[in-house]
Structure 1
Amino acid sequence: MNISLEVKQLKKNQTICISGSKSETNRLLLLQALYPDLTIKNISDSDDSLVMKQCLQSRSLVKNVHHAGTAMRFLTAYFALCTHEKVVLTGSERMQQRPIHTLVDALQQLGAEVTYLNQQGFPPLQINGKKLQGGKVILQADISSQFITALLLAGSKLPDGLEVELIGKVTSRPYIEMTLRLLNQIGIEASFTDNQINVFAVKNTINSEVTVESDWSSASYFYSIIALSPIGTTVTLKHYRQNSLQGDAVVATIYKAFGVNTAFKNNLVILEKVEEPEHRELTLNLNDTPDLAQTISVTCLGLNLSCKLLGLHTLKIKETDRLKALYIELTKLGGNVEVTEDTLTLSKHLGIRKNISIDTYDDHRMAMAFAPLALKVNLRINNAEVVSKSFVSFWENLQKMGFDLRTIK
């Protein structure tokens, strides 16, 4: 499905309900599989979470996660410790190009039986579940946090617990801390000191209820919409907490630089454009929150602000090579862009080109990050249905705010 987007007049003071965080949901779904007495409320309705549930509940010997990276990583660790369980874990063509050897190596250190069915270091995987005792693994700290989280979620089921020693500077630390805080919340003892993480074996039955907070990564697109709107424009988002577990909640602080104020009231968060940006150049290190890079770079393009975004080395192994994709699409729109292995630099432009078709590369965040730019110019989004990976009702919510959407060939 390709769509054209334009905004004749944005509707002010709308209230939007975003489903539960995909990151929290998928962690909790795996913990629920380990501890069936755990109850989860406000589960994400994203494709990734649906795939996670299906793979955990299906009796099929072949588990297909499609494009769901979190499911691939988390389920690799889960099935490795499911005694007498033998499964093949596979995914889409792109998933089979995303390396997983770091996680497999760590599991093999613990005694797991995991082998590669095609290319060494990549899915699909043959996993023969067995009883693992636990112990210590050593990992480079700059790897995807999902590898580390996969181990931590499984760690409490190991009789000897789990110790993870990280070497170097940690990438996406808030996602690791989210995992540990969720473990603590349901009664599992876990700690993160310096570069050492410990998860202790559970001695008692887990009996808990957790309500998933709405997704802050999804909220970021509404921050972009408000930043690109006139002063006085507001939107209210449901089911958010000021003391969030999610690393991407830092978007509230980042978007102050774009003139967006954030106010919390009960379980609501109210965004308001209060001023135009004072700074014409922005430098941000997104090492901890790389999923915000697409949203921020498009906001800067729309406001004609220069920016330098650092710490983006993990973007190359996401749903697509996001650095390459951003370079291509921002350039098509008239942006002056440079990228390196871990940096994106955007300079001021002479004007945004109209009626450009944005390719999405099977990446939900490419579609959603570029959509707010319709406040500045008419544009097209190709394969717009990819948003269902994390935000099923995204386009309906944009229509509610006054975006005019038309399906095109």
Structure 2
Amino acid sequence: MKFKLKHSQETVKGALQITGSKSESNRLLIIESLFKNLEISNLSNSDDTQVMKKALTSNEVEVDIHHAGTAMRFLTAYFAVQEGRETVLTGSPRMQERPVKLLVEALRSMGADISYERNEGYPPIRIQGKKLQANAVSLQANISSQYISALMLIGASLPEGLTINLEGQVTSTPYILMTLEMLQRSGIQGSFEDNIIRIEACAAVSPKTIPVESDWSSASYFYSIAALAEEAEIRLSNYRKESLQGDSCLATIYQQFGVETSFEENSITLKKSKCSKPASISEDLRNSPDIAQTIAVTCLGLGTACKLTGLHTLKIKETDRLVALKNEIEKLGGEVVISDEHLELKPSAILKENVEIETYNDHRMAMAFAPIALKVPVIIADAMVVSKSYPDFYSDLEKLNFEVIKD
């Protein structure tokens, strides 16, 4: 289904309740399944989290996680320690093109029994769950943080805990710290220092309720809206200043576009008044690659040049996000240069109207391009792909007086 988006007002005002972070939610669901006794509040209503919940309660041999990359990584480790259980973990055609080899190799080095059903290094994979005796593992530090987090999440269930030695420069550090904090909030001890992660063994955790902060990645689209509007005041709940999420750097990055963030007790307010726009910006997003699409489209809408680096993980997401961004920005009239790990946007001319944006089965492509409707009407193809992380996205746009025309 295609949605045409338009917005004709200079000022954007409103208040929204954003769903819980799927990153926090999915980590807590693994911990809860391993140790019980946890209650989770403000759980994400995203497709990815629903897929995770279903997989963790499934009694079937084949578990299909569709497009959910986080679920694929976390569940690979989870099922590897489910003693006596056989699981075939599979996903969508795109998921079967996304590598899991480095994680599988790490688990195999710990004694896990995992084999490939079709192509070496890729899902589907067959996992024979067993009790792993290893207490240490080494892997490259610059791989996806989801591989590292997957190992961290099962570490406390091992007889002697787990020490993870990271070799080289660590990327996506905030996500590793998020995993560590989720474990600690659950009652599991661990540390991360000098490229060494230690997770202590834990037999059981005490009963407790753990709240999930709302998703900062989802907030990014409203930062973009605020930046592209002439004036804006948007309140978002539930957020906190001392966030675990790397994407909370949005509050600092978007100051360049005149968007100021006020932190209240359980919410943030984004405000923009008329101001000059920057001629160019440069950001290293190695710790927050999921907001690259949003920032690039914001810059396109403002006619601002940008250079975004640290984007090497974007090539193995739901799509090759660098190629997808280049394709769709150029449809709108922008000029983009990409490499394996950076994107450079030239200052844009007049934007083309009623361009149809392909979404490539990628929720972030749909949501990142939606704010451009403040400048020109835009059509989002396969618009409901947003349900992967943010099912209420379009209804929330309507609360901010966007016109959403369904085709």
TM-score, normalised by the number of residues in structure 1: 0.98
Corresponding residue for residue 257 of structure 1: 256
Corresponding residue for residue 32 of structure 2: 32
Letter in 2 for 1:33: S
- Indicate if the aligned counterparts of 1:320 and 1:362 stay in contact, CA closer than 8 A: yes
* TM alignment of 1:126-165, pairs within 5 A: 126-165=126-165
Corresponding residue for residue 18 of structure 1: 18
* TM alignment of 1:70-149, pairs within 5 A: 70-149=70-149
Corresponding residue for residue 377 of structure 2: 378
* TM alignment of 1:354-365, pairs within 5 A: 354-365=353-364
Corresponding residue for residue 302 of structure 2: 303
Q: Distance in 1 between matches of 2:296 and 2:306?
A: 7
Measure how far apart 1:277 and its partner are: 4.4
Corresponding residue for residue 369 of structure 1: 368
* TM alignment of 1:287-302, pairs within 5 A: 287-302=286-301
Letter in 2 for 1:395: Y
Q: Distance in 2 between matches of 1:77 and 1:245?
A: 23
Corresponding residue for residue 63 of structure 2: 63
Corresponding residue for residue 332 of structure 1: 331
Measure how far apart 1:11 and its partner are: 6.2
Structure 2: tracts of 5 or more residues without a match:
none
Q: Distance in 1 between matches of 2:274 and 2:168?
A: 40
Measure how far apart 1:239 and its partner are: 0.8
Measure how far apart 1:131 and its partner are: 0.4
Q: Distance in 2 between matches of 1:157 and 1:201?
A: 6
Corresponding residue for residue 173 of structure 2: 173
> Which digits, 9 at most, give the CA deviation of each residue in 1:109-141, with x for residues without a partner?
110000000000000010000001231111111
- Indicate if the aligned counterparts of 1:338 and 1:344 stay in contact, CA closer than 8 A: yes
3-state SS of paired residue (1:13): strand
Q: Distance in 1 between matches of 2:40 and 2:276?
A: 40
Q: Distance in 2 between matches of 1:248 and 1:392?
A: 20
Corresponding residue for residue 268 of structure 1: 267
Measure how far apart 1:405 and its partner are: 1.0
Corresponding residue for residue 396 of structure 1: 395
3-state SS of paired residue (2:130): coil
Measure how far apart 1:274 and its partner are: 3.3
Count of residue correspondences: 407
Q: Distance in 2 between matches of 1:152 and 1:205?
A: 16
Measure how far apart 1:41 and its partner are: 0.5
3-state SS of paired residue (2:107): helix
1:244 and 2:226 correspond? no
What's the % identity of the aligned pairs?
51
3-state SS of paired residue (2:163): strand
Measure how far apart 1:247 and its partner are: 0.8
1:201 and 2:201 correspond? yes
Structure 1: tracts of 5 or more residues without a match:
none
CA RMSD of aligned residues (A): 1.0
Q: Distance in 2 between matches of 1:179 and 1:207?
A: 19
Q: Distance in 1 between matches of 2:267 and 2:245?
A: 16
3-state SS of paired residue (2:376): coil
Cα distance change on mapping 1:143 and 1:277 into 2, 3 Å: farther
- Indicate if the aligned counterparts of 1:10 and 1:403 stay in contact, CA closer than 8 A: no
Q: Distance in 2 between matches of 1:182 and 1:350?
A: 45
> Which digits, 9 at most, give the CA deviation of each residue in 1:348-367, with x for residues without a partner?
12211111100000000000
Letter in 2 for 1:189: Q
- Indicate if the aligned counterparts of 1:20 and 1:212 stay in contact, CA closer than 8 A: yes
- Indicate if the aligned counterparts of 1:298 and 1:369 stay in contact, CA closer than 8 A: yes
Cα distance change on mapping 1:213 and 1:137 into 2, 3 Å: same
Measure how far apart 1:184 and its partner are: 1.0
Corresponding residue for residue 319 of structure 1: 318
Q: Distance in 2 between matches of 1:169 and 1:159?
A: 29
Measure how far apart 1:13 and its partner are: 3.0
Q: Distance in 2 between matches of 1:4 and 1:194?
A: 50
- Indicate if the aligned counterparts of 2:55 and 2:65 stay in contact, CA closer than 8 A: yes
- Indicate if the aligned counterparts of 1:11 and 1:401 stay in contact, CA closer than 8 A: no
Letter in 2 for 1:90: T
> Which digits, 9 at most, give the CA deviation of each residue in 1:339-384, with x for residues without a partner?
0000100011221111110000000000000000000001100000
User: Quick check: 203-212 or 315-324, which moved more?
Assistant: 203-212
Measure how far apart 1:279 and its partner are: 2.8
Q: Distance in 2 between matches of 1:134 and 1:285?
A: 36
